[in-house]
Amino acid sequence: MAGPILRTTNLCKDFGPVRVLFDMDFELQPGEIHAVIGENGAGKSTLVKILSGYHQPTEGQVLLRDRPVKFQSTKDAEDAGICMIHQEFNLANDLTVEENIFLGKERRRGLFLDKRYMKEHSREVLASLETDVSPNARVKNLSVSQKQMVEIAKAVSRNADVLIMDEPTAVLTRSEINVLFRLIRSLQAKGVSVIYISHKLDEVKELADTVTVLRDGYKVATQPIGELTEDMMATMMVGREMKDMFPDKDLEPKPDTVLDVRGVTSPGYAVDCSFHLKRQEILGFAGLVGSGRTELMEAIVGLRQRSSGQIEVNGQTASIHAYRDAISRNIVYLSEDRKGKGLLVEKTMGFNLTLLALKQYVRRLGMIDETAEAVSLRKAIEEFEIRAPSNTAVINTLSGGNQQKVALGKIMEVDPEILILDEPTRGIDVGTKQQIYFFIHELAKQGKSIIVISSELPELIGVCQRIIVMRSGHIVGDVSGAAINEEEIMRYAMGIKGGNNNEQQSAG
């Protein structure tokens, strides 16, 4: 039996004065699916970015088939057969899907690009992913899950020996995940080795052969999956026992309705949607990706065109035409697209934190009170336990989970009464997820009302008092109390139940 295909010895990585990886000895065996897990900021992405040539190690070595390699760029690594799917989308927004898949690897015939071949090949790869994305679509017009599928298609089409996936499923639905897993297994059967980073421990348990746990830049353990349970993995990651993932369901909504949505239609996405939200209620929105949940919420808060519909806030008709109208009524929306719509990735944490609530910081002569901003930043860092290299860190240098905490801090700055949280725990580790669930619960306890959109049903079931199900732009189900269970919700989401709407009204 041959040795590991990819191996690191004493790998260390510094960002300026801060060391984020310590003496990492990591081994990837040929043909295995090797999961890497750990809390936000543990160093998972940094490790795989070194393996794929995106970063260079400060100390230590990377060995490919026992030969030391020094990749200067991701291209070097790709040429050596190591390909990575980034946690952050790395697609060119203005190019088409096909152009992205072949970016840097364009196929030529004579002087010209072999368009026919590339189109055919893109279509094949996309078909193997069972996605309906067209090779001609522009990437900027795709939804996040479609973009993720394109990322995957791009990596798969490169025929790598080592495929690295950094949280590929964070934005995918269960059925898309199933397709992806089938694809990964078939690649494994062809001898491809896979490194798989995820915060979803159930997926890790289902897919991986081996698990490596990182904590604070150190390797805690590498073990075969058979020896581990999800709880054991969580404990190893967090360094303490994890129990009571979800808060008690001890809250009842108050009788008064704070948000009443009637017949809202957003052309192409949401059709004639009506629902209401009570004070102190935690209301979940379930549905497949593309069912129009995000678009409905964006239409409600004025971020998207609304062709009809009425919105009442606290019993009064509210004319919300722009997001600022919603903000002035204390309604906030946390976008699912953290990097595209939530945060300015090239700006500092502080710049982002106060951007939504900047009005509150304006003093005499329109000047911003920078001292007050600094105080807020320190408070947010403490309250959300944001782990950043420094207080002036640029968002780009934060780990994914810590970016999400900044995004949460940003919307809390306006002291909202109604919170619409779109995939609030996307890319967040178990420990932090738990914190966020308790945080939502605490907000409700303070009399605030919360809508949670999530593709993770266990999460909705764990925190919500009531769950609305959407399909193809329609609200098709509304379950509460004992009726809240996965099967029931899936029946609505798939159209087995509550199918009184025509299926032609498909949403994007």
Ligand X SMILES: Nc1ncnc2c1ncn2[C@@H]1O[C@H](COP(=O)(O)OP(=O)(O)OP(=O)(O)O)[C@@H](O)[C@H]1O
Q: How far is the CB of 262 from ligand X (least distance, A)?
A: 40
- Coil, strand, or helix at residue 474? strand
Question: Residue 182 or 359: which CB sits closer to another protein?
Answer: 359
Of 343, 346, 326, nearest to 408 by C-alpha is: 343
Q: Is 210 in the site for ligand X (CB under 6 A)?
A: no
Q: Is 368 in the site for another protein (CB under 8 A)?
A: yes
β-strands 418-422, 108-109 pairing:
unpaired
Sheet (strand 210-215) strand order: 82-85, 162-166, 193-197, 33-38, 210-215, 218-224
Residue of 7, 44, 329, 441 that binds ligand X (CB under 6 A): 44
Contact 282, 251 (CB under 8 A): yes
DSSP string, 213-238: EEETTEEEEEEEGGG--HHHHHHHHH
How many chain residues touch ligand X (CB under 6 A)? 21
- Return the one option of ligand X, Mg ion, another protein, none that residue 83 interacts with (CB less than 5 to 8 A, by type): another protein
* Nearest-angstrom CA–CA distance, 155 and 150: 9
* Nearest-angstrom CA–CA distance, 467 and 446: 21
Name the residues that contact Mg ion, by CB under 5 A. Answer: 45, 87, 400
Residue of 122, 198, 399, 425 that binds ligand X (CB under 6 A): 399
β-strands 210-215, 218-224 pairing:
antiparallel
Q: How far is the CB of 132 from another protein (least distance, A)?
A: 24
Residue of 7, 121, 339, 387 that binds ligand X (CB under 6 A): 387
Question: Residue 22 or 361: which CB sits closer to ligand X?
Answer: 22
Of 418, 301, 407, 293, nearest to 354 by C-alpha is: 407
- Return the one option of Mg ion, ligand X, another protein, none that residue 367 interacts with (CB less than 5 to 8 A, by type): another protein
Q: DSSP label at 338? A: I
Q: How far is the CB of 207 from another protein (least distance, A)?
A: 23
Q: How far is the CB of 83 from another protein (least distance, A)?
A: 7
**Binding to ligand X in span 400-429, by CB under 6 A:** 400-402, 429
Q: Is 122 in the site for ligand X (CB under 6 A)?
A: no
* Nearest-angstrom CA–CA distance, 121 and 110: 19
Side-chain-side CA neighbours of 262 within 13 Å: the count stands at 11
Residue 163 host element (H or E): strand 162-166
Residue 189 identity? A
Q: Which stretch binds another protein (CB under 8 A): 215-223, 259-267, 393-401, 429-437?
A: 393-401
Distances (CA, A) of 248 to 244, 437, 445, 484: 9, 10, 12, 15
- Return the one option of ligand X, another protein, Mg ion, none that residue 42 interacts with (CB less than 5 to 8 A, by type): ligand X
Contact 165, 197 (CB under 8 A): yes
Q: Is 40 in the site for ligand X (CB under 6 A)?
A: yes
Q: How far is the CB of 111 from another protein (least distance, A)?
A: 22
Q: Is 86 in the site for ligand X (CB under 6 A)?
A: no
DSSP string, 396-408: GGS-HHHHHHHHH
Q: How many CB atoms lie within 10 A of CB 343?
A: 24
Q: Which stretch binds another protein (CB under 8 A): 22-30, 72-80, 256-264, 306-314?
A: 72-80
Place of tokens 């995106």: 54
Q: How many CB atoms lie within 10 A of CB 445?
A: 12
**Binding to another protein in span 246-305, by CB under 8 A:** 303
Residue of 72, 319, 446, 500 that binds another protein (CB under 8 A): 72
Question: Residue 397 or 501: which CB sits closer to another protein?
Answer: 397
Contact 440, 450 (CB under 8 A): yes
* Nearest-angstrom CA–CA distance, 473 and 506: 7
Q: How far is the CB of 482 from another protein (least distance, A)?
A: 37
- Return the one option of ligand X, Mg ion, another protein, none that residue 343 interacts with (CB less than 5 to 8 A, by type): another protein
Q: How far is the CB of 87 from ligand X (least distance, A)?
A: 6
Q: How far is the CB of 96 from ligand X (least distance, A)?
A: 29
Q: Is 322 in the site for another protein (CB under 8 A)?
A: yes
Of 436, 480, 485, 477, nearest to 458 by C-alpha is: 485
Residue of 30, 268, 340, 389 that binds ligand X (CB under 6 A): 389
Q: Is 207 in the site for ligand X (CB under 6 A)?
A: no
Q: Which residues bind another protein (CB under 8 A)?
A: 14-18, 53-56, 72-75, 78, 83-84, 86, 90, 103-104, 154-155, 158, 303, 322-324, 326-327, 333, 335, 340-347, 351, 355-356, 358-359, 362, 366-368, 389-390, 394, 396-397, 410
Q: Which residues bind ligand X (CB under 6 A)?
A: 15, 20, 38, 40-46, 87, 387-389, 397-402, 429
